[in-house]
A and B are shown apart, each in its own frame.
Chain A
Amino acid sequence: MEKLRVVHFLNQFFGGIGGEEMAHVAPQAREGPIGPGTALQAALGERGQVVGTVICGDNYFAKDMDKAAQEVLRLIEPYRPDLLIAGPAFNAGRYGPACGKVCHMVREQLGIPAVTGMYEENPGAELFRRTVYLVKTAASAKGMPEAMTTMIQLALKLHAGEPPGAPEEEGLIPRGVKKNRLAEHLASERAVDLLLKKIKGEPYRSEMHLPKFEKVPPAPPVQELSKALIAIVVEGGLVPPGNPDGIESARATRYAKYPIAGKDALMQGDFAPISGGFEKAFGAQNPNRMCPVDVLRELEKEKRVGKLYDYFYTTTGFATSLASATKMGKAIAKELTEADVGAVLLVST
């Protein structure tokens, strides 16, 4: 059987070029295995040969990942590899994304299996776990031999065209992609089994894990409300008749801003809610309930707030994905900041 040709990607440290002071080095190729490449070769045994190693400095790569990855790819290609192994990067924060990027590119452009490994909390994991096979490693290089073995096992499987098993079976960082399937037993039965294990102190495997939501630190309080420019942002999908901007009533990806300059209050018919998440009659009857222009105008007159911004923003929060909400939130915040808005009334439903 022909020995598989394997190329290894490393950073400047593992590639033996130097430490942080050499993180700027451009991609370069070396014959055979370097540094941890020997562990890689040992794990491969007779099945393959590390024919070349491509090294790139962490900072060089981080500066322009697309450019660096292309350069690395050009150095990998001449070796005509069957497999690409990158890292493992353990918990190294620039090295992880670099390994992920290289694997991603190699898969896309060379069409060969590419495997890397890193610690679950490496920033590269969040960036690449959906698109690249990331073996779960320890946080430090003490986990090298184990990581190499797992990485090679998976790489050989992929080369043979076998589909990988569940993340735990293969030692992978879960992609975080859920797929429906039919279990053998009803959920109620599985629930009782799981609970009994938990009560008895036996090990148990939850079918789902709590999502980790980013904790957003609140902004400091407004210093002088009587001078502040206040904007209203409405999450209930408050739109003009006909919903001209096509804001979705659930799982929104679009937001819009609507003018309220010169209005002392919103009137029935000016705007109405379209969110699928609540009873809309009350918001339709009196849109001020969702976008309190009437009260803010009073506060303006009483000089308790500086001014109400000429526009309010709206989207639908109902079942809207975290990714969309984050994207829209950032965009709205940017526009409001550019308009010198000092405080936002975020009305939720």
Chain B
Amino acid sequence: MKLELGVCLIKDIQFGKTTRISDHALFVNKEELLTLLLGDRRLESLELEIARPNQKERIIHVLDVIEPRVKVNGPGEIFPGMVGKRGRVGEGRTHVLRGVTVVETGQIPAVPEALLDMSGPAAELVPYARTCNLVLVPQFADGLERVECAHAIKMAGLKAAAYLAEASRNLQPDQLEIYDLVPLPDLADEVKGLPRIAYIYQLQSQADLCEPFVYGDNARKLLSTLLHPNELMDGAIVSGNYEMPPCFKNVTYTHQNNPVVHTLYRRHGRDLCFVGVIVANEHPTLHEKERSAVMAAKLARDILGADGVIITKEGGGHADTDLMLNCQRCEEVGAKTILVVDEPAGPDGTAPPLSDASSDRADAFVSTGNSNELIELPAVERVIGGKTLAGMSDPPEAALTVPVMMIPSATSQVGFTRLTTVEL
């Protein structure tokens, strides 16, 4: 499968008379976009706001972050099974608006507060604090069930991302990135001879509002399976993980731009052979976890022939058990593992970082930081997304001392972060 990503560098968003891109600025016809999104009656009303990097602005009630992309050539449509038709993706050409995201917000009961500051120390932690963000602020229909609220904003976010990217369809991209990974038997001998690395990509699909979508369905019943890495770039996996501590979830942006996939692709043929991506759900029952781990390890070792496996997770608690099982089952059949984990080590940094330590073969970890450590957010001049914070009485524009946990994907569990810990 060969995919060309046509990267269109965007430096600003403005509302304007027509939706178009001109001179690296994206102009958005607000009325047209609102009409499109408000076709869904689950949304009583919707506000569209623009947040820019380096501004003293704070987006609250953040649910997801999505990078606008559109398929301009080749089969399929972006976000297949969600807003795009359910079909083959991952080849041809896809345009990307790099420098822009769509941020879904929403006030849904029992969903933990998630903050995105566009400047200050928190902005250093996540890439989408340095992009121009079109923020969706919905008002849900009266009495709407929580799961319907979640699905409504999810569809709105994806539709908005697809709509914005459409403006780049006929543009000459600024950069062209080629992602070409042929089937294993077709790899050149010298590439096959390099250390073979597979990626086990744990997804947390466990309940309503806690579900990533793979080709349009949650992964609740998904048996461990193979995806071609290019499929991720066309939005085959999107995040519906709302009721999770924010730093623990993998926002759609990090599925689309999965850094493990990008690192493996970049080094494929140089010092390693990228043999494939295995998605494995973190099921809620032990017997399903065991089955998932056995199948994932078998795919990695017996089908892909991996010498080594990188394993990333989503969430904590349950996720740690799946991590230990995947690690153990891989190591047992001879595939060496490395686990990417964040460490909820308590505000003072002394608590155990994992809640399951049952694999005696788990000896290689990369840490993405202590999510309980407090960070001081300076006061801001503008708040987008609401007037009060969930579960906190502080005014949303105030200076806040909060755990890193409140910043979406700050301790990115797929490794999209330079945050780590040092042990004193």
Contact = CB atoms under 8 A, between A and B. Distances in A.
Contact of A174 (B309, B370, B424): B424
A interface secondary structure, majority:
loop
Closest 8 CB pairs of A and B: A211-B352, A187-B415, A188-B415, A188-B259, A178-B349, A208-B365, A178-B421, A195-B338
A274 to B, nearest CB: 11
Given A130-B350, A182-B418, A251-B346, 6 more contacts: A176-B423, A178-B350, A187-B416, A198-B338, A207-B420, A278-B207
A142 interface: no
Contacts of B110: 280
Contacts of B418: 182-187
A210 B351 contact: no
B365 A186 contact: no
A187 B254 CA distance: 13
Interface string A131-173: 0000000000000000000000000000000000011000000
B395 interface: no
Given A180-B370, A188-B415, A198 B421 contact: no
Contacts of B155: none
Contacts of B419: 180-183, 187
A130 B346 CA distance: 15
Contacts of B217: none
A223 interface: no
A192 interface: yes
A188 B260 contact: yes
Given A188-B416, A191-B415, A180 B404 contact: yes
A207 B369 CA distance: 10
Interface stretch (B86-94, B179-187, B263-271): B263-271
Given A174-B424, A187-B412, A187-B415, A179 B271 contact: no
Interface string B339-357: 0110111101111111001
Interface in A65-84: none
A204 interface: yes
Q: In this complex, which of A176, A199, A276, A277 has the most chain B Cβ atoms within 10 angstroms of its Cβ?
A: A199
A208 B352 contact: no
B367 interface: yes
A319 interface: yes
A35 B422 CA distance: 38
Contacts of B340: 187-188, 191
B357 A198 contact: no
Interface residues of A, number: 48
A208 B414 contact: no
Nearest to A176: B350
B351 A177 contact: no
Given A187-B415, A199-B195, A199-B308, A207 B271 contact: no
B223 to A, nearest CB: 24
Nearest to A198: B336
B272 interface: yes
A188 B363 contact: no
Interface string B397-424: 0000000100000001011111111111
B2 interface: no
Contacts of B424: 166-167, 174-175, 177-179
B112 interface: yes
A208 B367 contact: yes
Nearest to A196: B195
Nearest to B309: A195
B288 interface: no
A226 interface: no
Given A183-B418, A186-B418, A194-B364, A210 B263 contact: no
Contact of B352 (A185, A200, A322): A322
B310 interface: yes
27 contacts: A166-B423, A167-B424, A176-B350, A176-B423, A178-B349, A178-B353, A179-B349, A179-B422, A180-B369, A180-B404, A180-B420, A182-B418, A182-B419, A183-B419, A183-B420, A187-B415, A187-B416, A188-B260, A188-B310, A191-B260, A195-B310, A195-B336, A198-B364, A209-B363, A211-B357, A213-B352, A276-B112
Interface in B235-254: 243
Contacts of A210: 354, 357, 359, 362-363
B117 interface: no
A224 interface: no
B8 interface: no
Nearest to A318: B317
B351 A322 contact: yes
Given A208-B341, A211-B353, A192 B263 contact: yes
A216 to B, nearest CB: 14
A196 B308 contact: yes
B417 A187 contact: yes
B93 to A, nearest CB: 25
A175 B348 CA distance: 12
Contacts of A175: 423-424
Q: In this complex, which of A177, A182, A208, A322 has the most chain B Cβ atoms within 10 angstroms of its Cβ?
A: A208
